[in-house]
């Protein structure tokens, strides 16, 4: 029996005259992500993208999992291909679904008939297939409300398809349809989640990481690379630009008031992130900041740190509490890496009593004690760019 993956598009169907651009990007993303898994033919019709293996070497299990992590796909069904006649649909349903049907007692059949030329209506198809399955599997009982298994029948242009329901996909918009953003990626929980959230809205991700060796370890740097690797499973290939930050932090420690350490550090990070973003052709910055989570994320502090940027700063987690962020981190697979005990540069020289309601002019006065331009230029000379994925 020939199998196929039916990838259901979500909000792409609402895109009007631009819809084809989103669909084309989704199909290209599918092609590149599945290329390593096997030889697949990818084509779309009626809000569904078909992923069709071209030989017996294709790994359908791996392809299914990959499709579920591609933004723009709201659901995926692994189905058997049937001829468009009721006898073949019934026979294939009974044979293809033998294992799942043997493990349940209640079921129902749902049919979607996209091809209205088919001689039977959707309810008639459901009754015919359901009756046949009851005859073959005598232990089964039809149950319309909350059955253990829902058998899906789709009658489309060329073929009919039978599956054991659908699995949820990543949703959102295809990667790259909403521009490119530079994610300030630390080793913590929040920033990978923020990157994932913007990638879900169609943004292509680049990453920047600030490295303060020997105050932060090589293990901490590798931890960030591992987080970036996990993000590529959702958002595709990216780069991590590593910025040497040790000299900047020691200068801040030696010349500025302690309660302004973190604020000035963040301002320097934002300047550098924007410089790297411009170099990498990004249109915005992305941070994992959550309102009032720490002293540097109060409204006043965010205003002071964001004042040095000309490009938009997106903070998708700004209104989320820690538990909400952790829930997403667990879902996308970054949590276990984020909690590894390797500290990032944000924990270096942390003041005992940081400013929570800083004044911008006072921050600028403290910053004037530094040769900001020279420090930024020096850091930009030492960039390391790592391709991930």
Does 180-388 carry CATH code 3.40.50.620?
Answer: yes
Q: What percent of the chain has pLDDT over 70?
A: 100
* Domain range list for the chain: 3-168, 180-388
Quick one: average pLDDT of 285-303?
A: 93
Angle at 253 between CA 247 and CA 254, to 5 degrees: 90
Q: Is the dihedral of CA 307, 312, 314, 318 positive or negative?
A: positive
Q: Which two tokens stand for residue 253?
A: 């420690």
Q: In angstroms, rounded to a whole number, what is the distance separating the alpha carbons of residues 152 and 218?
A: 51
The number of C-alpha atoms within 13 Å of 61 and in the hemisphere containing its C-beta is 0
Residue with tokens 């129902």: 108
Phi, psi values for residue 385, rounded to 5°: -110, 120
Residue with tokens 């033919």: 41
Q: Are 81 and 3 in contact (CB under 8 A)?
A: yes
Q: Which two tokens stand for residue 328?
A: 């997403």
Looking at residue 98, its pLDDT comes to: 96
Q: Which residues contact 110 (CB under 8 A, 6 or more apart)?
A: 126, 150, 151, 152, 153
Task: For the sheet with 204-211, list strands across it.
Answer: 313-314, 284-286, 180-184, 204-211, 238-244, 384-388
Q: Which of 153, 160, 345, 159 is closest to 247 using CA atoms?
A: 345
The number of C-alpha atoms within 13 Å of 48 and in the hemisphere containing its C-beta is 18
Q: Are 159 and 82 in contact (CB under 8 A)?
A: yes
How confident is residue 153, by pLDDT bands cut at 50, 70 and 90? Answer: very high
Count of C-beta atoms within a 10 Å radius of residue 74: 19
How confident is residue 25, by pLDDT bands cut at 50, 70 and 90? Answer: very high
Would you give the DSSP letter of residue 55?
S
| Cα 280 off chain centre by | 20
Q: Are 211 and 234 in contact (CB under 8 A)?
A: no
Q: Which two tokens stand for residue 246?
A: 């040790």
| Cα 334 off chain centre by | 11
Would you give the DSSP letter of residue 142?
E
Q: Which two tokens stand for residue 336?
A: 């276990």
Q: How many residues in the chain?
A: 389
User: Looking at domain 3-168, which CATH architecture does it have?
Assistant: 2-Layer Sandwich (3.30)
Angle at 65 between CA 152 and CA 31, to 5 degrees: 100
- Is the model's pLDDT at 291 over the cut of 80? yes
For residue range 304-348, what is the model confidence (pLDDT) as tens digits?
999 999 999 999 999 999 999 999 999 999 999 999 987 777 776
Q: Which two tokens stand for residue 165?
A: 């329901």
Q: Are 276 and 243 in contact (CB under 8 A)?
A: yes
For residue range 74-86, what is the model confidence (pLDDT) as tens digits?
999 999 999 999 9
For residue range 350-386, what is the model confidence (pLDDT) as tens digits?
777 888 899 999 999 999 999 999 999 999 999 999 9
């Amino acid at each position: 029996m020939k199998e196929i993956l039916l990838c259901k598009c979500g909000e792409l169907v609402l895109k009007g005259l631009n819809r084809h651009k989103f669909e084309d990007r989704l199909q290209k993303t599918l092609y590149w992500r599945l290329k390593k898994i096997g030889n697949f033919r990818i084509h779309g019709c009626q809000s569904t993208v078909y992923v069709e293996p071209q030989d017996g070497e294709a790994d359908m299990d791996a392809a299914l999992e990959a499709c579920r992590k591609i933004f723009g796909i709201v659901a995926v069904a692994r189905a058997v291909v049937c001829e468009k006649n009721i006898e073949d649909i019934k026979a294939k349903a009974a044979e293809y679904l033998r294992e799942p049907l043997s493990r349940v007692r209640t079921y129902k059949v749902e049919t979607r008939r996209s091809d209205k030329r088919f001689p039977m209506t959707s309810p008639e198809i459901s009754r015919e297939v359901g009756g046949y399955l009851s005859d073959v599997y005598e232990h089964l009982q039809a149950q319309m409300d909350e059955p253990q298994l829902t058998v899906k029948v789709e009658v489309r242009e060329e073929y009919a398809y039978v599956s054991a329901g659908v699995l949820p996909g990543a949703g959102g918009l295809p990667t790259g349809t909403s521009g490119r953003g530079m994610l300030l990626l630390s080793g913590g929980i929040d920033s990978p989640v923020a990157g994932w959230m913007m990638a879900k809205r169609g943004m292509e991700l680049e990453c920047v990481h600030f490295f303060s060796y020997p105050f932060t370890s090589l293990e901490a740097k590798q931890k960030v690379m591992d987080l970036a690797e996990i993000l590529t499973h959702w958002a595709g290939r990216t780069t991590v630009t590593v910025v040497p930050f040790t000299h900047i932090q020691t200068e801040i420690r030696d010349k500025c008031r302690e309660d302004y350490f973190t604020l000035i550090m963040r301002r320097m990070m934002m300047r550098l992130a924007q410089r790297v973003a411009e170099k990498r052709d990004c249109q915005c910055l992305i941070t994992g900041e959550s309102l009032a989570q720490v002293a540097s994320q109060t409204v006043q502090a965010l205003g002071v740190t964001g004042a040095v940027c000309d490009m938009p700063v997106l903070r998708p987690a700004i209104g989320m509490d820690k538990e909400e962020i952790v829930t997403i981190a667990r879902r996308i697979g970054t949590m276990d890496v984020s909690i590894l005990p390797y500290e990032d540069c944000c924990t270096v020289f942390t003041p005992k009593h940081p400013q929570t309601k800083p004044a911008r002019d006072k921050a600028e006065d403290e910053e004037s004690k530094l040769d900001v331009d020279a420090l930024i230029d020096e850091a930009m000379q030492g960039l390391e760019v790592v391709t991930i994925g």
